[in-house]
Amino acid sequence: MLVFLDIKTTGSEIDDKICALSTLHDDTLSSELINDGKKIASEASASHHISNADIKEKNSFTQSKGYKFLQELSVDDILVVHDYDFVYKILQSYGVTVYAKIVDTKRVVKHIVEDIERFDLQYLRYELQLLDTNDIVYKPLEDVVVIKSLFEYLLHSVSEEEMFELSFTNVLLQKFNFGKYNGRYIEEIVNIDPQYLHWMLSLDNLDADLQYTIQYYLQG
């Protein structure tokens, strides 16, 4: 079974909780709002448009259909997510282990799509023209539909088997796409401001590929 998964959280800190979960498989879309007693930060609501009022009367994640569904996946299934490092950390915080084979569309994009400035899902939706806006009435809880469209886009360049491997292979990035050195080559910054790179390595939520790249260049 091929399953697409999208998770929304109350914020970006390590103790934040799931506030919504959507799955798509066999053309069946299932979305649930979740309330695990953690207030949704305003910054998070601004991103996914889910408010504290929306989740006020909702069940916890462990009481949700999605929780049971994910735990029933087997090694014969394929789970497609965008940013597996994030999804893995969130699910692990709930004690959930997923046994399905994983495709991380974010990392596959980094490997095979050239000249992309950003890798967040909504940017890729428009940059790669993944959806015809006339095809669906788009809602925040249907980001999982974008993941499915991105997966199908990537299949034009690589096979599912190649995606499994690329999803767990670090990417050597070329440029920063944020911060004071936005658009500058990372290798260049090693020579002019190595302290900045060491500071970045101290950040808790640093992107795994950026961490790999900085360490690669600092080691020469």
Q: Which of 79, 107, 125, 90 is nearest to 11 (CA)?
A: 90
Q: Inform me whether the pLDDT recorded for 135 exceeds 70.
A: no
Q: Looking at residue 141, what is its pLDDT?
A: 62
Domains of the chain with bracketed CATH = 2-166 (3.30.420.10), 170-220 (no CATH)
For the residues 91-100, what does the mean pLDDT come to? 93
Which segments of the chain does DSSP mark as H helices, in order?
42-48, 52-55, 65-71, 84-93, 105-112, 121-127, 143-154, 160-166, 186-192, 194-201, 208-218
Least confident of 99-108, 113-122, 137-146, 175-184: 137-146
Q: Looking at residue 137, what is its pLDDT?
A: 47
For the residues 130-158, what does the mean pLDDT come to? 79
Indicate yes or no: pTM above 0.85: yes
Q: Looking at residue 108, what is its pLDDT?
A: 97
Contact 82, 147 (CB under 8 A): yes
